[in-house]
Chain A
Amino acid sequence: MKIIEIIVTPDGKTRVETKGFIGSECREASKFIERALGQQINEQLTRDFYATHTEQQRLREQS
């Protein structure tokens, strides 16, 4: 299941996390919410992003 989690702290800080996506698909999926909420101040790509991204590239090259 693909989900986007939005954590909004009591001081108004917002964090967006994407889960269950493959590769750069997560960036596309959460773009609408990031644009709607405001200015991006930090972006962190996790190990899973690179893992799934590499796998996606490999599959693309094979086909």
Chain B
Amino acid sequence: MLPDLGHAGAELPRKTRHKHLVKPDSNYEPVFYSELFVIPVNLRLFFPTKGASTSHGNIRTCRDGGTAERDQTRRRPLSHIVELQTEVRDAAAIRAACQRLQIQSPLYGEAKLFSGSKTGWQVKLPDWRYPIVCDVNTGKIDFDNFNGSWGKQQHLDLFLQAYAVEKAKIESRRKGHTVTEQMLTDGTIKLTIHVGGVA
């Protein structure tokens, strides 16, 4: 039985393989002759298999300190994912969100809602009967849209999206990072923060 010679070795016709060996004694039986060819490990160097080559490549990459680090960065491992509930705590970001949505700038003060009054940054959303009131101390928004009859939820959602985008941009720039913004087809906004400011 012929032991596994690997990919390259298997492709070679038997006659070709024999050429690499010292011609055996004529007394040797064919089976023994084949084993003699395979057993010396050194001979495999002449027939590197595909797998052996890849493995060698990996070892070389891992032992080279710089290369291993470069490879890891190139692959950009996704290390963790965090989901957040947006809290509205920054007046500057509220103002930036209003500019972004091209709506009236926020006003600070007491606002009258249907069920009472609230104090905070008031934002007038399009076609909303009452303003929304952002309390930057608690991060919560008070509003009264009577389940959509006095203002569409979609407008509030878009305000929250605009706030989150503007707040993330403000904080990233404050840290000296570069931010790029991309609007996706479904309306999602993707911000890419290049840590260290390299775009």
Which among B78, B159, B177 is the interface contact of A17 at CB below 8 angstroms? B78
The majority secondary structure among interface residues of chain B is: mixed
Which among A10, A12, A19, A42 is the interface contact of B76 at CB below 8 angstroms? A19
Contacts of A3 in B (CB 8 A): 76, 192-195
Q: How far, in angstroms, from A13 to B11 measured CA to CA in the complex?
A: 57
Contacts of B139 in A (CB 8 A): 38-39
The majority secondary structure among interface residues of chain A is: mixed
Give the residue among B80, B90, B170 with the most A Cβ atoms within 10 A. B80
- Which A4-48 residues have C-beta < 8 A from chain B? 4-23, 26-27, 29-30, 32-34, 36-46, 48
Q: Is B3 an interface residue (CB 8 A)?
A: no
Q: How far, in angstroms, from A23 to B69 measured CA to CA in the complex?
A: 13
What total of A-B pairs shows CB separation below 8 Å?
162
Contacting pair B193 A33 (CB below 8 A)? yes
| Given A6-B193, A43-B83, 13 new contacts (CB under 8 A) | A9-B187, A12-B161, A12-B163, A19-B79, A20-B72, A22-B72, A33-B172, A38-B84, A38-B85, A40-B83, A41-B83, A43-B81, A49-B77
Tally of chain B residues near chain A (CB < 8 A): 45
Contacting pair A26 B79 (CB below 8 A)? yes
Q: A12-B157, A20-B73, A37-B168 are in contact. Are A48 and B187 (CB under 8 A)?
A: no
Q: Is B175 an interface residue (CB 8 A)?
A: yes
Q: How far, in angstroms, from A44 to B79 measured CA to CA in the complex?
A: 9
Tally of chain A residues near chain B (CB < 8 A): 45
Q: Which residue of B lies closest to A39 (CB)?
A: B85
Which among A4, A22, A34 is the interface contact of B84 at CB below 8 angstroms? A34
Q: How far, in angstroms, from A26 to B79 measured CA to CA in the complex?
A: 7
Per-residue contact bits, chain B 59-99, to A (CB 8 Å; 1 contact, 0 not): 00000000000001100111111111111001000000000
Which among A8, A19, A38, A39 is the interface contact of B189 at CB below 8 angstroms? A8
Q: Is B18 an interface residue (CB 8 A)?
A: no
Which among A17, A19, A38, A45 is the interface contact of B86 at CB below 8 angstroms? A38
Q: Is B41 an interface residue (CB 8 A)?
A: no
